[in-house]
Amino acid sequence: DINFDVLSSNQTNVGVQSGSRTDLNLGISKNFLDGRLRVTVGRNFALENTTGIQRNPSEVFDNVSLDYNISRDGRYIGRAYRRNSYQAVLEGYVIETGVGFVVTVDYNTLRQLFGKKEEEIE
């Protein structure tokens, strides 16, 4: 899979130089282990940058994510990730690293989501 994201931001500060920035994120995903492991890597490219803030050019990939399907049906997923993104409010890059646990549940109606189960009613 190939993903494209575009993020545009404007900075307007009173008494300080203002600027604008547009970034393009290009990401590529590949499945391994019969679809149980998904590896996603991405890179941010500055299309427009009048803020004067530059990223570290030595990084090969800005964003890396590993998703592992703990259950075969994909209901339980373990995730490890690293994201490098520009934050206009902070006027710089923020590197976020973490792990997560994702639970996916399917519902057909809102009643199934918020209502009691039939066994509990009886």
Domains in the chain: boundaries: 2-121
d(CA 117, CA 94): 43
pLDDT per residue over 7-20, tens digit each?
A: 777 666 555 566 67
d(CA 85, CA 20): 15
* pTM of the complete model: 0.64
d(CA 120, CA 122): 6
Task: For residue 69, give Cα distances in angstroms to 10, 11, 31, 74.
Answer: 39, 40, 11, 5
pLDDT per residue over 31-84, tens digit each?
A: 999 889 999 998 877 777 665 555 556 666 778 899 999 998 889 999 999 887
> Which one, of 94, 100, 68, 59, lies nearest residue 81 by Cα?
100
